A and B are shown apart, each in its own frame.
Chain A
Amino acid sequence: MIKRKIILSQITRVPVLSSAVQEGMRLLRDPQVDMGNLAKVLQHDPGITANILRLANTPYFGSMSRVNNLRDAVVRLGAKRVSQLLLTVAVTPRISGDLEGYDQAPCTLLEQSLAIAVASELVAAELGIDAPSHTFTAGLLANIGKIVLSQFLDNEYEQVNTLVESENVSFEEAERRVLGADHAEIGAELLASWNLPEEIVRVVRLFRDPESCPERDVALDLVHVGSAAAAMTGIGQGLDGMQYPVSEAVVERLGLTENQVQEVMVKLLEHVAKLKEVLPKCEKTI
């Protein structure tokens, strides 16, 4: 399809992660990361360390005592967590704009993304299981394809909406039929072009349709139900709203109950409100 080719070609217009961020994430793969090197690499990207520390001190990530520098953060939260914070800070500017196609005001995609990341981990906590370490990042980036697809959806929205309403198909399937691509696939392609790990790319590609995954992937299951719980709270919703099904097979194999879903929603609201307060672009409530 011609439209699909044009959409895929737009992926390269999204600015890639800075070399400082990429190098920082590479260093943080080592739990015993050389702190001197890390600090030196990140100082090329002004404000990034300060923002990592602001996030590190929110109740969601917070350790028992205040984290004052990167070394503290790595010691108390672990290199993996700090790597997630680094990526969160780095993608914030890219997902803070408004998305006219999805009728999302400035910062709402960021709120939605944080909500999915946190909800996915909260589901694991409610179930008493360990969330795989890439769960947070995959949840955060699950909807990033919207930043590319939005401009195309803007023109074709009536057609997509008609399909959803008249044939009861999910929003992403309607996107696929009308535009030739959906936001999950485009997000996966974008992240692959950023060289993010395949395990993250896979969750983003399949999070709307986890049953199509050939093998069991706990992070994928968590992001799938996390995105549903986040949508139900309404945080950062676009016009696609709740027009996505929840997989019965996934809910069953996780053993998730109604009370657990509600508890996730309650905790989610509290955490997302505090997280978005500390991110510089989104100090004002919408």
Chain B
Amino acid sequence: MRINVGISEMRVTKQPGVILVTHSLGSCMGLAAYDPVFKVAGLIHCLLPKPSGSKKASANPAMCVSTGVPAMIREMYAMGAQRQNLILKAAGCSRMMNVLNQFNTGLRNQETLLALLEHNGLKLAASEMGGSVPRTMYLLVDAGRVLIRSKREEREL
């Protein structure tokens, strides 16, 4: 069964056979987290780096990297995942060509994720961030595989 994770949404599951998928990663950041021992999987699609005073962004933790990623990992712990088992893979954070500061949400999302992980002593096992391409990200719950589809091609992350 496929479960779609929309923009500013996250899903955590232990259900066998599920494929978590998130489409349309532009400047947004997609993070797949997986515990291969307890088979807990999570996928989040964050629009912005931080709430920065936006009421709507504060109301939905999954909208921002700084609030969504910790919320998803906590939910995974609550379902039995353990920190030392976590495999994290990130994608997205694309930029407009010759990007200007005002339009560099992709870079801000990437920086926010990397700073957050470093602060918590966590590392990315793999990532595909940046460029100007759109990406779709899949997390296959049974195997913990992460696939990226972009510009007509599919590859393992």
Contacts and interface: CB of A to CB of B under 8 A. Distances in A.
Nearest to A285: B4
B151 interface: yes
Contacts of B40: none
Given A248-B100, A262-B52, A265-B47, A234 B151 contact: no
Interface in B33-91: 47-48, 52-54, 56-57, 63
A77 to B, nearest CB: 24
B120 interface: no
Contacts of A168: 97
B151 A161 contact: yes
B11 interface: no
Contacts of B105: 232, 258, 261-262, 265
B148 interface: no
Contacts of A263: 54
A163 interface: no
Contact of A267 (B4, B27, B53, B56): B56
Contacts of A262: 48, 52, 54, 57, 105
Contacts of A267: 56
A103 B63 CA distance: 26
B97 A243 contact: yes
Contacts of A242: 26-27, 94-97, 106, 132-134
A133 to B, nearest CB: 26
A270 B47 CA distance: 12
Interface residues of A, number: 39
Contacts of B96: 228, 231-232, 242, 244-246
Interface in B104-157: 104-106, 132-134, 150-152
Interface in A133-157: 157
A234 B102 contact: no
Contacts of B98: 245-246
Nearest to A259: B52
A241 interface: yes
B31 interface: no
B23 interface: yes
A103 B23 CA distance: 13
Given A233-B47, A242-B132, A251 B151 contact: no
Contacts of B106: 232, 242
Contact of B97 (A170, A229, A259): A170
Contacts of B18: none
B48 A233 contact: no
A232 B25 CA distance: 8
A237 B134 contact: yes
Given A251-B100, A266-B56, A103 B152 contact: yes
B134 A266 contact: no
A269 interface: yes
Interface string A38-76: 000000000000000000000000000000000000000
8 contacts: A161-B151, A232-B26, A232-B27, A234-B134, A242-B96, A245-B97, A251-B102, A265-B105
Given A234-B7, A242-B27, 19 more contacts: A228-B96, A231-B26, A232-B27, A233-B26, A233-B47, A234-B25, A241-B94, A241-B134, A241-B151, A242-B26, A242-B106, A245-B97, A246-B98, A251-B100, A258-B102, A258-B103, A259-B52, A269-B8, A285-B4
